[in-house]
Structure 1
Amino acid sequence: MSIHRAVKMYDYHVWANRRVFDHLKQQPEKIFNNQIQGVFPSISAVLVHMYMVEMAWLETMKGNLYEAISQKIKQKTVELNGQPLEVVEAAFKTLAEDFHRFLAGEEDLERVIEVEHPHYGRSKFALADIIQHLANHGTYHRGHISAMSHQQGEKGASTDYIFFVEE
């Protein structure tokens, strides 16, 4: 049985995040929470945002309602904001494990779910499309992290998909 492309995209997303964390560990500790001018105030803030979006979509795919997800996001934001790199990395690792458990239990990643949001209304999405969105969202923000690293005199991590495929 071949691996579903959506699972491969999620695996890429986890791989790329891990490369960013490994790279950040090699950089001066101060750049993680250092306040800079940009789309986000710090690299830490970018990662916390990425985490919240991924957690929200996982909870959505599990069938949880917006209100419960919103409460969980508020709680985790308080827990992760301002924390050191290792704490944020551990949260990502746990979330990836939860996500992989969900994917392993899903028989049909083309299954369409209906999502209700108080501001955006009702939408329908295939699970595979949500996973593709997460990979794209992660790529976009890993680019922010790379730019923010450069802005602070450091290099960014190489997380191009082709390197994942090659590895």
Structure 2
Amino acid sequence: METSRVRKMYDYHVWANHQVIEHLKQLPDSIFHQPITSVFSTISEVMVHLYVTDIIYLLTLKGVHYDDVLKIIDEQKSQLEGADIAAVEKAYHKLSEDYYQFLNLHQNLEGTIKAEHPRYGKTEFVMADILHHVINHGTYHRGNITAMLHQQGEKGVPTDYIYHIFS
């Protein structure tokens, strides 16, 4: 995936997360932390999971050692657990800025990096593949959020790529 395509797809990821956050801000505050029986127990949990996972992959792309990534993730996760949607929105915004800074510094995202994966050990990844995973992972979990909203009697918000193209 060429750099401009990766950037375009990351723009979509940011846009889709923004759509979900803006939608959640319009709903009753209780919806965000309401326990339900689903893949995650609250929408807040999904948002924090998506956020910390995005951090994991950015730090991996930057070459941060896996043990250090885990420490950073623990800190970030503890700061957002129980937080309101405004705090989550602020964290997502800062993280997207960090990703854009990374994208601006790396012109060849088809290059490989060496990293340690908890399941596969030390391996090489193509940077564009990791970014593609970040975007795909986000799409999957935004779908979880829509399903969870429906369980609570609320509507989701469209975040399909086609909506981004025409926005």
Given the two structures, how large is their TM-score scaled by the length of structure 1?
0.96
User: Which residue pairs with 2:69 in the alignment?
Assistant: 69
> Post-superposition shift, 1:59?
0.5
SS of match in other structure, 1:50:
helix
Matches within 5 A, 1:145-156: 145-156=145-156
Distance in 2 between residues matched to 1:147 and 1:119, nearest whole Å: 29
Which residue of the partner structure matches residue 107 of structure 1? 107
State the match for 1:165 in structure 2. Answer: 165
Determine the structure 2 residue equivalent to 1:125: 125
Deviation at 1:86, TM superposition (A): 0.4
Counterpart residue type for residue 44 of structure 2: S
Partner amino acid, structure 2, of 1:120: Y
How far 1:118 sits from its partner (Å)? Answer: 4.3
Alignment pair present for 1:91 and 2:91? yes
C-alpha contact 2:32 2:43 (8 A) present in aligned 1: yes
3-state secondary structure, aligned to 1:4: helix
Residues 60, 3 of structure 1: alpha-carbon distance in 2 compared, 3 angstrom cutoff: closer
The residue aligned with 2:81 is 81
Name the SS for the 2:33 alignment partner.
coil
* 1:58 is the counterpart of 2:65: no
Count of equivalent residues = 166
RMSD, matched Cα: 1.2
- Structure 1: 4+ residue segments shifted above 4 A: none
- Residues in 2 aligned to 1:107 and 1:63: alpha-carbon distance in whole angstroms: 16
Q: Does residue 142 in structure 1 map to residue 142 in structure 2?
A: yes
Structure 2 unmatched ranges of 5 or more: none
- Superposed CA deviations along residues 20-59 of structure 1, whole A, max 9, x for unmatched, are 0011111111010111101101000000000011001001
* Alpha-carbon shift at residue 119 of structure 1 (Å): 3.7
Distance, in Å, in 1 between the alignment partners of 2:4 and 2:76 is: 30
Q: 1:18 to 1:118 in 2, by over 3 A?
A: closer
Q: Which residue of 2 aligns with 1:41?
A: 41
Residues in 2 aligned to 1:42 and 1:120: alpha-carbon distance in whole angstroms: 30
CA–CA distance in 2 between the matches of 1:128 and 1:118?
20
CA distance in 2 between counterparts of 1:35 and 1:22 reads 21
Name the CA distance, whole Å, in 2 between partners of 1:4 and 1:53.
Answer: 23
